[in-house]
């Protein structure tokens, strides 16, 4: 510390005392401070020497010196706090898969029927069950409705599937099930309450149900699925239904609201969903059946969804696969669009209907937000022997020539081969989205 002429001077005895004290405390941690010594020739002259003394504040420490030490300690403490601050949390990564049209024809549910009269669909999915179960989030479009046994189980063109199919989808590991498609009101020929009865049933399933709404208010209540802190808004639409093409006549289906899309609805709901969730996934039933070509309506609605903030579009209805692409929204965002996933389980008659793709990607959330990574697909193949027997679904990679030679579709003036099945995929899906064995 520094003294001026008005400060009382240390006597020689006091100086000696300080030096002795310093010597006795050499084992303590030291710091550098100023110590005043006295020049005997002129008591008004004060000199300043630097010596090492113990880190102890004495009665002779002035206010300024104390303030200097305090500021230094504060800076050091601040540095320590910064260094020990908690790091950013680890990113959350969720795997997602999405399967296309699950169509249960009469031959399919008869195959699943047991002698007791109950049903078991699980064996048909045995080969794909692992990747369904292992996904953090698994989606499927359930093409055929489940309105209950009282309507009678039925096949094309007015489907009604045994309720056990719903329970088995949950057992397989499907977390999100969409019912928004053109067949959802098929039983409306028999009852205006068919969709309402289906809602009553699906409410009992341990799954996240989209596409079924009791009224307009329920339709506007956007569903948000949350897993590991990631919020995903799911929307579900269909171009129309086989009975009621227009939303202007919902009174013809009691106790339900049909999710038929239009531009205003899509714009309003996708924008709202983007404002309340980390990601927006849209399930949409659209396109032209049995063609790999994307039509103008699909392109138009896909761009609208991208512009409004959709992150992923899961398309279905054509019953064949269509291309996958990234669409740039007007805000510079990127939307992953699967225009048509094709079929899952089905009993149709042509090779192109047997080949499907299951959407596959990762959802990542970190300090920078949420995004889609590792976009790809898992090609699948529907097995069926002549006369619609032995139906099941397998990964396309497990298709053999022996399976192809025995396929039902060989009876329809076509030859099923592994090469042809692979070509359906490679002709319609860009290499960047394909598994290695197809590149």
One-character DSSP codes across 29-92: -EEEEEEEEE-TT-TT-EEEEEEEEES---TT--HHHHHHHHHHHHHHHHHHHHHTSPPPPPPE
Q: What is the mean pLDDT of the chain?
A: 85
7 found inside a domain:
no
What confidence tens digit (pLDDT) does each residue in 383-393 have?
999 999 999 99
* Res 85: pLDDT: 65
**Does the bond joining 242 to the residue before it have cis omega, within 30 degrees of 0?**
no
Is the same domain home to 47 and 149? Answer: no
What confidence tens digit (pLDDT) does each residue in 159-173 have?
999 999 999 999 999
- Which residue is listed with tokens 């049995």? 290
Q: Would the pLDDT of 65 be above 70? A: no
Which element (helix H / strand E) includes 232?
strand 230-238
Q: Would the pLDDT of 406 be above 60? A: yes
How many other CB atoms are found less than 10 A from the CB of residue 339? Answer: 25
CA dist., res. 19 & res. 402, Å (int): 100
* Res 412: pLDDT: 87
The predicted model gives 242-265 an average pLDDT of 77
117 found inside a domain:
yes
Poorest-pLDDT segment among 25-29, 127-131, 231-235, 368-372: 25-29
Q: Would the pLDDT of 57 be above 60? A: no
The predicted model gives 221-242 an average pLDDT of 96
Choose the final residue of a domain: 83, 103, 136: 83
Choose the final residue of a domain: 46, 64, 83: 83
Categorize the per-residue pLDDT at 54 as very low, low, confident or very high, splitting at 50, 70 and 90: very low
Residues 6+ away with beta carbon under 8 Å from 53? 18, 21, 22, 25, 30, 31, 33, 35
The tokens of 298 are what?
């699909």
292 found inside a domain:
yes
Residues forming beta bridges with residue 102, ordered by sequence position: 142
Maximum alpha-carbon separation in the chain: 125
Is the same domain home to 37 and 185? Answer: no
The predicted model gives 117-127 an average pLDDT of 98
Is the same domain home to 174 and 258? Answer: yes
Its domain, for residue 131, covers 92-438
Which of 172 and 27 is assigned the larger pLDDT?
172
Is the same domain home to 47 and 193? Answer: no
> What is the count of structural domains for the chain?
2
338 found inside a domain:
yes
Instruction: Please report the sign of the dihedral spanned by the C-alpha atoms of residue 206, residue 208, residue 213, residue 216.
Output: positive
The predicted model gives 364-369 an average pLDDT of 96
In the chain, pLDDT over 90 holds for what percent of residues?
74
The predicted model gives 208-224 an average pLDDT of 96
In the chain, pLDDT over 70 holds for what percent of residues?
78
Is the same domain home to 33 and 133? Answer: no
Q: Would the pLDDT of 46 be above 90? A: no
47 found inside a domain:
yes
Poorest-pLDDT segment among 58-72, 187-201, 215-229: 58-72
Which element (helix H / strand E) includes 7?
none
How many other CB atoms are found less than 10 A from the CB of residue 299? Answer: 13
Q: Would the pLDDT of 41 be above 80? A: no
Q: Would the pLDDT of 259 be above 90? A: yes
Residues 6+ away with beta carbon under 8 Å from 221? none
The predicted model gives 171-190 an average pLDDT of 94
Which of 303 and 39 is assigned the larger pLDDT?
303
**Whole-Å CA distances, 237 to 141, 158, 247, 329:** 11, 20, 12, 20
226 found inside a domain:
yes
CA dist., res. 354 & res. 348, Å (int): 8
Q: Would the pLDDT of 10 be above 90? A: no
Is the same domain home to 290 and 308? Answer: yes
202 found inside a domain:
yes
166-188: b (≥16 Cβ within 10 Å) or e: bbbbebbbbbbbbbbbbbbbbbb
Choose the final residue of a domain: 22, 52, 83: 83
Is the same domain home to 313 and 383? Answer: yes
CA dist., res. 370 & res. 359, Å (int): 18
Q: Which CATH number do you get for residue 406? A: 3.60.21.10
Is the same domain home to 52 and 71? Answer: yes
- Which residue is listed with tokens 């898992």? 378
Is the same domain home to 429 and 392? Answer: yes
Is the same domain home to 174 and 77? Answer: no
191 found inside a domain:
yes
Q: Would the pLDDT of 316 be above 80? A: yes
Q: Are 394 and 123 in contact (CB under 8 A)?
A: no
Q: Are 354 and 381 in contact (CB under 8 A)?
A: yes
CA dist., res. 99 & res. 139, Å (int): 6
Q: Are 392 and 123 in contact (CB under 8 A)?
A: yes
Q: Establish how many alpha carbons lie within 13 A of residue 153's alpha carbon, considering only the half-sphere containing its beta carbon.
A: 18
The tokens of 121 are what?
């669909």
Is the same domain home to 60 and 110? Answer: no
Total number of residues shown for the chain: 439
Is the same domain home to 430 and 341? Answer: yes
């Amino acid at each position: 510390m520094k003294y001026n002429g008005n400060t009382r001077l240390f006597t020689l005895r006091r100086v000696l005392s300080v030096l002795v004290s310093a010597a006795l405390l050499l084992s303590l941690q030291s710091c550098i401070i100023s110590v005043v010594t006295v020049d005997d020739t002129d008591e008004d002259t004060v000199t300043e020497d630097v010596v090492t003394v113990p880190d102890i504040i004495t009665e002779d420490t002035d206010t300024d010196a104390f303030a200097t030490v305090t500021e230094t300690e504060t800076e050091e403490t601040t540095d320590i706090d910064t260094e020990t601050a908690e790091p950013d949390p680890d990113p959350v990564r969720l795997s997602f898969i999405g399967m296309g049209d699950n169509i249960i024809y009469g031959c399919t549910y008869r195959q699943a029927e047991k002698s007791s009269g109950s049903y078991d669909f699980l064996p048909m999915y045995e080969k794909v069950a692992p990747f369904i179960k292992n996904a953090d989030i698994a989606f499927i479009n359930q093409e055929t409705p489940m309105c209950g046994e009282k309507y009678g189980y039925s096949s094309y063109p007015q489907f009604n599937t045994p309720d056990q199919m719903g329970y088995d989808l949950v057992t397989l590991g499907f977390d999100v099930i969409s019912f928004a498609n053109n067949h959802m009101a098929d039983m409306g020929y028999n009852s205006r309450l068919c969709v309402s009865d289906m809602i009553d049933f699906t409410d009992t399933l341990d799954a996240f149900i989209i596409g079924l709404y009791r009224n307009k208010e329920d339709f506007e209540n956007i569903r948000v699925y949350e897993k590991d802190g990631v919020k995903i808004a799911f929307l579900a639409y269909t171009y129309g239904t086989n009975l009621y093409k227009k939303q202007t006549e919902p009174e013809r289906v009691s106790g339900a609201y049909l999710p038929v899309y239009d531009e205003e609805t899509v714009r309003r709901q996708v924008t709202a969903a983007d404002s309340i969730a980390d990601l927006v996934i849209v399930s949409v039933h659209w396109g032209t059946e049995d063609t790999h070509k994307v039509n103008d309506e699909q392109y138009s609605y896909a761009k609208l969804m991208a512009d409004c903030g959709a992150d992923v579009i899961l398309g279905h209805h054509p019953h064949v696969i269509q291309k996958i692409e990234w669409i740039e929204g007007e805000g510079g965002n990127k939307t992953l669009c699967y225009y048509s996933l094709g079929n899952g389980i089905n009993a149709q008659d042509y090779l192109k209907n047997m080949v499907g793709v299951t959407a596959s990607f990762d959802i990542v959330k970190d300090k920078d937000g949420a995004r889609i990574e590792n976009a790809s697909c898992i090609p699948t193949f529907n097995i069926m022997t002549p006369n619609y027997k032995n139906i099941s679904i397998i990964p396309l990679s497990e298709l053999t020539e022996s399976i192809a030679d025995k396929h039902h579709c060989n009876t329809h003036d076509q030859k099923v081969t592994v090469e042809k099945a692979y070509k359906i995929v490679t002709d319609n899906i860009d290499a960047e989205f394909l598994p290695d064995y197809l590149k």
